[in-house]
Structure 1
Amino acid sequence: MSRADSYEIEVGGEADGGDRVPDLSPREAFERWLGRLRASKADSTVTSYHYQLKLFIEWCEEEEIDTIGELTGWDIETYETTRRNEGVELLSLNKEFRTLKLFLEYCARVELVAEDLPEKVDPPDVPRDAHVDETRLEHGRAELLLDYYAEHDYGSREHALLALAWYVGARLGGLRGLDLDDYDSADAYLQFIHRPREETPLKNGRDGERAVGLPREVCEVVDAYVADHREEGHDEYGRRPLFTTTVGRMSQNYTRARMYLATEPCLHMSCPHGNDRETCEYVDYTHASKCPSSRSPHQVRTGSITWQLNRGVPVEVVAERVNTSVRVLKRHYDQPTKREELEERRREYVDRLGFGANGDDQS
């Protein structure tokens, strides 16, 4: 995440030097907590926490809660009722109150609030399927898109970006942060390296660092991109990004926009929405996200993970490749349809259902 996109935290003041706990306002306590988190969490995580609790801090100020120590369980209940009456989705409300609980646990630990106050935060239950974004790039569409690029725009930036996103299942930030030297064509692998001081952090910090193998056909695409289409240049830290523009490394927003553009269905079929590609505004990268059928980097990642699992790659291996836990992978990304389960995961066993040692009828 670039500095322009990240939330800059102003850390709250120190104690007065004595034994007394300072009377911090809700905002001061919040800023202090975020400041501590920045040392161990990715910028994207800290920014997410900021936006999830921003409205709560503003509500406290409107209610004239001057110090965080004044906060009571009734205040928390009143705030939840206020948010529910505003029509906030249950999943969003759940995330807000889980973050509020984390914040208040910190406050209780440093004695800013009563020890039992965090226990009074009760995030609303959410149905399991509400946690899953079912919109993903289907493997059939991914294949058609990659076939299109192979025939019509081989080795283009969009071709290489989509190929790596699909075959690796990497996050947007991981792809954007790749340097040319992180790619090894001869040994067919990519390295993902956490470089927070140079504005290319990995979501899970150093725990996200890994080497990921690539199919030879993907290496050939990336080799063609590097040889024929990559803009030579350096970023502001003197590094040579793998994915570049005329001014250096692609920004987060620009990378996201190029993925939307790379997954538009009219590249390989007639527009499903009846538009003419020659005049459609969605073919401009600044509007590609508005196309109902284009897909974000996260949706490509979701489709990739499901596809890798359906191809029989062990769940532990997929989790390592995409840098997530097996538990999170199963809950959020493993989304096979019933037909996919039949065709991909069970086919090898169905084929054994015959007479004879190998499934062949030898009678």
Structure 2
Amino acid sequence: MRRPNELTPREAWHRYLDGRRTEITDETASTYHYRLKLFVEWCEENEVETVSELTGWILDQYESARSGEGVAATTLHNEMETLQSFVEYLERIEAVDDGLANRVNIPDIPSDERSRETKLEADRALALIRHYRTSEQAGSRNHALLEVAWHTGARLGGIRALDLRDFDAGEQTLEFVHRPETDTPLKNKRKGERIVGIRDGVATALKRYIQSERWDKHDDHGRQPLFSSLQGRASTNTMRAWMYTATFPCNRGPCPHGHEPETCEFRSHTHASKCPSSRAPHHVRTGSITWHQDRGVPREVTSERVNASQNVIDRYYDKATKRERMELRRRPHLEKLEIE
């Protein structure tokens, strides 16, 4: 019988991912796949033939090689965290020496640098939404998508998972349901399931979208996606491109970069992300969570709505500056401290 320490890095990489697929989402698995793929390819280039050859020195050399390629500090931090988890797996199956995982150096970076500073600013988001509501674009897919993303703070995967039946127009709610067996898992699985209330404007936008612009399509499992494409349920990449398009500044006014919409290459589906002012779903989520906090929504309510712990919100998503926190959140409470 072949011993575990005889596995090649590539074989061990595939065994590790295969074993974790039942406990992580496809998106997370894809991230781990890419991070470890870089390590495996480096091992092969440097003639590391079996995992038994891995040492603290080799792991340190890999970190130095990645750092020398100019990757961002946050990227290197995340890659080394994933590598440490992989080495812990190798320890568990007795393919490497115990304690090797402790020799994986994870670069320490300030907590405020661990998340993206880019977000869709509240003033931009609200200006776009007001424009959509009062223009001929009211009820468009762009309009409905931005309304839902901004008011729920949901992840892209959660929005993609929504079915037509998950929108209750009468109660004005959206229900997020974990359905992994039909290709729409939620990041936190059953713990990510929730019902989120929405305001009149959001519900109105969704009703108009459903009546006028939504493609009446079923996905491969016979379900009716809320945000459908001609093929059925839109892919993650398609949904991401839609969000970039929905946040174009030229949707409501002149281009701030001097381009003409008729000739601007960023207006195409494949180049939408290159517009300097368009925003990805994660940036919309970050801006939304900050906005919830700024509007005085209790932290526990925000946590429930966006399906993230209060610690995670504080650490990764709440991007208000110190002055913004004082002006928008604390100054109103100063009245309570008045003596006279």
TM-score (norm 2): 0.95
Task: Report whether the alignment pairs 1:254 with 2:262.
Answer: no
Partner of 2:90: 107
Of 280, 283, 306, the residue aligned with 1:299 is 283
Measure, in 1, the Cα distance between the counterparts of 2:231 and 2:37: 34
Partner of 1:195: 179
Taking only the aligned residue pairs, the percentage that are identical comes to: 50
Measure, in 1, the Cα distance between the counterparts of 2:83 and 2:339: 60
Partner of 1:185: 169
Contact kept? 2:154, 2:285, Cα under 8 Å: yes
Structure 2 regions of 5+ residues with no counterpart? none
Contact kept? 2:5, 2:96, Cα under 8 Å: no
Of 57, 64, 86, the residue aligned with 1:74 is 57
Partner of 2:314: 330
Partner of 2:124: 141
Structure 2 SS opposite 1:28: helix
State the shift of 1:315 in Å: 1.4
Measure, in 2, the Cα distance between the counterparts of 1:285 and 1:87: 30
Of 125, 128, 139, the residue aligned with 2:108 is 125
Q: Which moved more, 1:199-208 or 1:296-305?
A: 199-208
State the shift of 1:197 in Å: 2.4
State the shift of 1:277 in Å: 2.1
Of 22, 30, 34, the residue aligned with 1:39 is 22
State the shift of 1:76 in Å: 1.0
Structure 1 regions of 5+ residues with no counterpart? 1-14, 357-363
C-alpha RMSD over aligned residues: 1.6
Highest CA radius of gyration, 1 or 2?
Answer: 1
Measure, in 2, the Cα distance between the counterparts of 1:101 and 1:235: 38
Contact kept? 2:5, 2:52, Cα under 8 Å: no
Task: Report whether the alignment pairs 1:92 with 2:100.
Answer: no
State the shift of 1:22 in Å: 5.7
Matches within 5 A, 1:1-363: 21=4, 23-152=6-135, 153-352=137-336, 354=338
Structure 1 moving runs of 4+ over 6 Å: none
Structure 2 SS opposite 1:45: helix
Structure 2 SS opposite 1:236: coil
Structure 1 SS opposite 2:139: coil
Measure, in 1, the Cα distance between the counterparts of 2:229 and 2:79: 37
State the shift of 1:328 in Å: 1.2
State the shift of 1:90 in Å: 1.9
**Residues paired across the two proteins, number:** 339
Measure, in 2, the Cα distance between the counterparts of 1:230 and 1:83: 45
State the shift of 1:21 in Å: 4.5
Structure 1 SS opposite 2:195: strand
Structure 2 SS opposite 1:163: helix
Contact kept? 2:245, 2:272, Cα under 8 Å: yes
Whichever residue aligns with residue 208 of structure 1, its letter is: G
Whichever residue aligns with residue 216 of structure 1, its letter is: D
TM-score (norm 1): 0.89
